[in-house]
Amino acid sequence: MSDPTDDSTTQVAQFERSLDELEQLVARMEHGDLSLDESLHSFERGIALYRSCQGALEQAELRVQQLLDPEAIGSARPFDPETP
């Protein structure tokens, strides 16, 4: 049986690697010295990394909601820092 902590650590490490790669891609594209083909490839990779990171963040948010109130998962709302 696998340890849930190991899975969590692996997911966090994967998220951090994806975010780091995405930041590097953005920096390279902002520099402006890529060919059109390289820019398109970088853009496609960036979109895939963005979606991966977004999915990981959504999963983390759901996990926090479950930890805070496992009985009321259906009543959970997205966090809004503007709402008191």
Please report, for the chain, the start and end positions of each structural domain, with discontinuous segments joined by +. 4-70
Contact yes or no for 19/53 (Cβ under 8 A): yes
Residue 1 has pLDDT above 60, yes or no: no
Q: What is the predicted pLDDT for the residue at 72?
A: 67
**Measured distance CA(16)–CA(58) in Å, rounded:** 15
Three-state SS at 27: helix
pTM above 0.75, yes or no: no
Distances (CA, A) of 56 to 1, 29, 39, 53: 23, 24, 25, 5
Class of domain 4-70: mainly alpha
The pLDDT of residue 60: 87
The pLDDT score that the predictor gives to residue 16 is 94
Cβ neighbours of residue 7 closer than 8 Å, sequence gap 6 or more: none
d(CA 13, CA 9): 6
Mean pLDDT along residues 32-56 = 94
Mean predicted confidence (pLDDT) in 14-40:
94
